[in-house]
Structure 1
Amino acid sequence: MPRENYQARLDELRADVVAMGALVGERYETAIEAAVTGDAALADEVVGGDHEVNETYLALEDDCTDLLALQQPVAGDLRLVTASFKIITDLERIADLATNLAEYGGPDGGVHPAIEFEGLAAAAGDMVADAVAAYEAGDAEACREIAARDDDFDERCRRASEAVVRGLLDADGGTEGLEASIDEASRGLLAVRDLERIADHAVNVAARTLYMIENDDDLIY
């Protein structure tokens, strides 16, 4: 393959990974709206649309495999391909978690009154978007900044989970009321867990991007 065509394939791979990030971001935003509003039809739309993300992931996986097998890239090109392969896996898992989140909304909307769900969701979504932007721009400093934000986000998730448990312990209202409280608490705890995992995947994207840019594996381990 002529050098210009090879470079074009690398550029196309990078652009396609960014496009997958945008697709996952759209699915994520819709999932959050479904959870906040309790819109079952919107939740079904998120779940039903997950196949598009999966198909995109498989196509990009094939592209990475072809580049590795046929072109045998080295140095920076090799890091680009391997980082892209890892990043699309994280993006696909974020999309899977989004389908979970879409279904956590209660029948009257919302996830749990003790959780600042929209704020947490926005923070996790911003980390993902910023990580994809860092990959696109080759911004090493942004990668480190995203990883640094994760400690604060984990602490916010810890406090949210504690608030859910305290609310459950204080619940009153007989058997029926307790069952409703347990259901609401379960959805709340699952939502916090999945948001924390999404933030972790954002850090993974940043870590692989930093390795791609500077051959620095500090954020990976």
Structure 2
Amino acid sequence: MPRAEFEKALQELHEQLLKMGATIEHSMDLMIKALETGSSELATEVIERDDIIDDLEASIETACLDMIIKQQPVASDLREITSILKMITDLERISDQCADICEYVLKLTGEQMPEYMRLIIKMAQHVKQMISATIDSYVHQDADKAIQTAKSDDVADDYFEQITGEIIQSMEGDPALRRIGIYLLLIAKYLERIGDHTTNVCEWVAYRITGDHQLYN
């Protein structure tokens, strides 16, 4: 493959990755609205959209492997391709967890939400901001922004600890809230995992730019 064609194929990979990121951002927006409103329609839409992400991951993965096997890319190109392979794995997991959250939104349809739901919404908004910042750092090749976004996962962890404490306290005070509490605890855990996967993506964004892979989780 001539160099010009190789670079064109590499650019198409980047565009597909950005499409995957934008699709996940939209699913995150829908998921947050579903949490806020309890909408079963929005929750179902998020669950169904997961198939779109799965298809994008498979397509990007196939293209990456074809380029590695058939073109034997040089070191800098290989770094680009391998970082994309790593990123799409975490992005796909983020989509899975959005769908998992919405499965529990469906289970909670019609329930009166406890006061600590406000913290879960704030946590969801924070991890969505992390995802948006991560994609922006990829677009602008901004390693510093990727690193700072990775470090902001500490905020998501703090939310999770606070939410866990509130849920335990509410369940101890009223056994009738245990079912709701368990579902909301699982939702919070999925949000915490979204933060972790976003941190992983940030690490690979920084690696793509600098060639240095550091762990921030």
Deviation at 1:112, TM superposition (A): 4.2
Gaps of 5+ in 2: none
More moved, 189-198 vs 131-140: 131-140
Give CA-to-partner distance per residue, 1:68-123, whole Å, 9 cap, x none.
11111122211110010111111111010001112333323676421412211110
1:196 aligns with 2:192: yes
CA deviation map 1:155-204 (0-9, x unaligned):
12111111111111111xxxxxx34x111101111111011100111100
Q: TM-score, normalised by structure 1?
A: 0.91
Quick check: 2:134–2:149 contact (8 Å CA) kept in 1? yes
2:170 pairs with 1:167: yes
**Unpaired runs of 5+ in structure 1?**
172-177
Alpha-carbon spacing, 1:201–1:207, altered in 2? closer, same or farther (3 Å): same
Name the amino acid aligned to 1:213.
I
Give the share of equivalent positions with the same residue, in percent: 30
| Superposition deviation, residue 67 in structure 1 | 1.0
Q: Which amino acid aligns with 1:206?
A: C
Give RMSD over aligned pairs: 1.6
Question: Does structure 2 retain, via aligned residues, the 8 Å contact 1:36–1:111?
Answer: no
In the aligned structure 2, how far is the partner of 1:26 from the partner of 1:53? 11
2:161 is matched with 158
8 Å CA contact retained: 1:111, 1:117 = no
Change over 3 Å in CA distance of 1:32–1:103 after alignment to 2: farther
| 3-state SS of 1:113 partner | coil
Per the alignment, residue 140 of structure 1 pairs with: 143
How many Å apart are 1:49 and its aligned residue?
2.4
For residues 1-221 of structure 1, the aligned pairs below 5 Å read 1-105=1-105, 106-108=108-110, 112-115=114-117, 116-171=119-174, 178-179=175-176, 181-219=177-215
Q: Is the 8 A contact 1:127 1:199 kept in 2?
A: yes
Corresponding residue pairs, total: 214
State the TM-score, normalized to the length of structure 2: 0.92
Q: Which residue identity is paired with 1:200?
A: D
Q: Tell me which stretches of 4 or more aligned residues in structure 1 moved more than 3 Å.
A: 108-112
Task: Report the AA paired with residue 125 of structure 2.
Answer: A
CA distance in 2, matches of 1:27, 1:196: 17
Are the aligned partners of 1:30 and 1:46 in contact in 2 as well (CA < 8 Å)? yes
